[in-house]
């Protein structure tokens, strides 16, 4: 059929209909199509822009059934992650927290590593969060942290299985075993390490302490001997730790990537060990891993293999790095405060004078008598702030101090904001162990001291850490003097680090 152009419809003439050639027809058709496509593209672009504007608006103004704390959610997707990880080279509160507390108050909202989070610098709020573990809040760490520690790590477990694991770990690191076995072993390890470091021109104290504590605790946990083939395990943990609290960008060359590779390799070693031990039912129980494997062998085990492996991984890591970092900072602070060293020396020389054999190992009664040392340890961990943030997730909308924390949001309790608050600790950056004088011993978290956490999830390694620090200080101040050879500067990203190392030279006392 011949195509026609309806001129009337175009308003050019009244009634005429002119036959058109197919070429003209298709040109007009194409033009109409182009116009429609043009409109569609613009329409789609406009819709996309509107959706984007709406999304950005929603990002910046998240929905809530009540009043959200003030604060900024940062730029979409990235939030304020970059500011959170920005290096801070002092013992003071990170600018990320201090600037926001100044601007918004002690509770503010933000977004870090892809999650909306309410940060609390308020002692009452922190206490409330810890006391409501399992009721209003549960332990939660951002996905990137969970990737690192394993999805079934103890921090991600709840309820019955969590309580069971905690009891299992306390059998190894609780007071009874410390008194019966570990105190003497830590004393022995500290003596040996200090003597070997004194025989060298200098030692990187952080590396030395890490190796000493790793060898001690990994022996208890997995029967690790530094000279056997599993030596690479320590190297993997070191690679793991370097990227632990770094920006979560998993591409080759980044610290985070190195960290994930370290985890992969360490898990390979642990899996190999587990396979070997599972295949040997006659194996005698020699270390903590053997106890865990006995549990796995039961007809209806409470643990799964993944939970067991993640537990071993977390324990191996948490046992050495935390304490090594705190003690390294402690050595730096002692060097800067000779009066504290004098008071420590007096306390520890008195202990030795009261012994029948001055070379005998530290006894539990002696350890318990170290009052000033215990104040020094409290002061070191207060200022070290090894854990810059303790994470939880709201299980329902929670009203606190006139604000709402929406269900599903993260909460970051910020211990440094409490430990460095001048209203709580006078002249908070001063290293002053005497501030703890006459105060009752703290055995759990309190509103004003939460270096080891608080509530149900209070750190299971607290007593081990204190024993390790006390025996190290005992041997250091009674047998050696020391001086810094190089390094000792700190950085927090936000985890504590010693970017230039910290080399000291030890001199035996006569």
Give the nearest distance from C-beta 275 to ligand HEM in angstroms.
Answer: 24
| Cβ contact 316:217 at 8 Å | yes
Give the nearest distance from C-beta 213 to ligand HEM in angstroms.
Answer: 8
Give the nearest distance from C-beta 55 to ligand HEM in angstroms.
Answer: 32
In angstroms, the CA 42 to CA 233 distance is 58
Residue 508 forms beta bridges with which residues? 480
Q: How many helices (H) and strands (E) does the chain have?
A: 19, 14
Give the nearest distance from C-beta 248 to ligand HEM in angstroms.
Answer: 18
71 or 410, CB closer to ligand HEM? 410
Q: Which of 381, 379, 358 is nearest to 474 (CA)?
A: 358
Q: Which of 189, 175, 181 is nearest to 472 (CA)?
A: 189
165 or 351, CB closer to ligand HEM? 165
157 or 343, CB closer to ligand HEM? 157
Give the nearest distance from C-beta 380 to ligand HEM in angstroms.
Answer: 8
Task: Report which residue's Cβ sits closest to ligand HEM.
Answer: 461
SS3 state at 502:
strand
414 or 477, CB closer to ligand HEM? 414
User: Phi, psi at residue 313, to the nearest 5°?
Assistant: -60, -50
What residue ranges bind ligand HEM (CB under 6 A)?
A: 139, 154-155, 166, 169, 173, 314-315, 318-319, 322-323, 326, 381, 386-387, 390, 451-453, 457, 459-461, 464-465
C-alpha distances in Å from residue 111, one per residue of 52, 78, 208: 18, 8, 37
In angstroms, the CA 118 to CA 405 distance is 7
370 or 380, CB closer to ligand HEM? 380
73 or 405, CB closer to ligand HEM? 405
Give the nearest distance from C-beta 142 to ligand HEM in angstroms.
Answer: 12
C-alpha distances in Å from residue 466, one per residue of 107, 161, 219, 428: 32, 27, 19, 22
Cα angle at 210 between 205 and 213, to 5 degrees? 120
Residue that the structure tokens 């601007």 belong to: 103
74 or 156, CB closer to ligand HEM? 156
In angstroms, the CA 314 to CA 399 distance is 33
Residue that the structure tokens 């395990």 belong to: 233
186 or 246, CB closer to ligand HEM? 186
Give the nearest distance from C-beta 257 to ligand HEM in angstroms.
Answer: 25
Residue 101 forms beta bridges with which residues? none
378 or 381, CB closer to ligand HEM? 381
C-alpha distances in Å from residue 486, one per residue of 202, 303, 323, 338, 489: 9, 47, 21, 19, 9
Give the nearest distance from C-beta 209 to ligand HEM in angstroms.
Answer: 11
């Amino acid at each position: 059929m011949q195509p026609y152009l309806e001129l009337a419809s175009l308003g050019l003439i009244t009634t005429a209909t002119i036959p058109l050639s197919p070429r003209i027809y298709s040109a007009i058709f194409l033009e109409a199509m182009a116009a429609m496509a043009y409109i569609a593209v613009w329409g789609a672009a406009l819709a996309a822009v509107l959706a984007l504007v709406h999304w950005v608006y929603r990002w910046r103004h998240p929905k809530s059934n009540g009043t959200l704390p003030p604060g900024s959610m940062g730029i979409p997707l990235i939030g304020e992650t970059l500011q959170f990880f920005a290096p801070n080279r002092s013992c003071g509160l990170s600018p990320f927290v201090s600037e926001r507390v100044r601007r918004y108050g002690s509770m503010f909202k933000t977004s870090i590593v892809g999650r909306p989070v309410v940060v609390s610098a308020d002692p009452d709020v922190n206490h409330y969060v810890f006391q409501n573990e399992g009721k209003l809040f549960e332990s939660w760490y951002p996905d990137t942290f969970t990737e690192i520690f394993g999805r079934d790590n103890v921090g991600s477990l709840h309820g019955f299985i969590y309580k069971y694991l905690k009891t299992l770990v306390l059998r190894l690191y609780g007071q009874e075993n410390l008194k019966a076995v570990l105190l003497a072993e830590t004393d022995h390890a500290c003596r040996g390490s200090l003597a070997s470091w004194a025989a060298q021109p200098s030692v990187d104290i952080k590396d030395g302490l890490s190796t000493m504590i790793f060898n001690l605790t990994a022996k208890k946990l997995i029967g690790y001997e530094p000279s056997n083939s599993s030596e690479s395990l320590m190297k993997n943990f070191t690679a793991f730790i370097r990227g632990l609290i770094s920006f979560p960008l998993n591409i080759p060359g980044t610290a985070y990537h190195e960290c994930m590779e370290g985890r992969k390799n360490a898990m390979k070693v642990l899996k190999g060990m587990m396979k070997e031990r599972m295949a040997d039912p006659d194996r005698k129980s020699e270390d903590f891993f053997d106890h865990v494997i006995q549990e796995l062998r039961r007809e209806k085990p409470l643990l799964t293999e993944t939970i067991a492996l993640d537990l071993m991984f977390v324990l191996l890591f948490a046992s050495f790095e935390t304490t090594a970092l705190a003690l390294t900072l402690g050595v730096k602070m002692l060097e800067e405060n000779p009066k504290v060293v004098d008071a420590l020396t007096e306390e520890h020389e008195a202990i030795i004078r009261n012994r029948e054999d001055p070379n005998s190992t530290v006894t539990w009664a002696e350890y318990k008598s170290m009052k000033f040392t215990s104040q020094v340890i409290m002061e070191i961990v207060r200022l070290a702030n090894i854990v810059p943030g303790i994470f939880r997730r709201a299980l329902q909308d929670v009203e606190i101090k006139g604000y709402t924390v929406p269900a599903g949001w993260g909460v970051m309790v910020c211990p440094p904001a409490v430990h460095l608050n001048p209203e709580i600790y006078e002249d908070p950056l001063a290293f002053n162990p005497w501030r703890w004088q006459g105060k009752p011993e703290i055995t759990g978290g309190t509103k004003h001291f939460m270096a080891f956490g608080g509530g149900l999830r209070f750190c299971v390694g607290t007593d081990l850490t204190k024993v390790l620090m006390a025996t190290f200080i005992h041997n250091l101040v009674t047998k050696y003097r020391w001086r810094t050879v190089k390094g000792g500067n700190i950085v927090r990203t936000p985890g504590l680090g010693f970017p230039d190392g910290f080399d000291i030279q030890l001199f035996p006392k006569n």
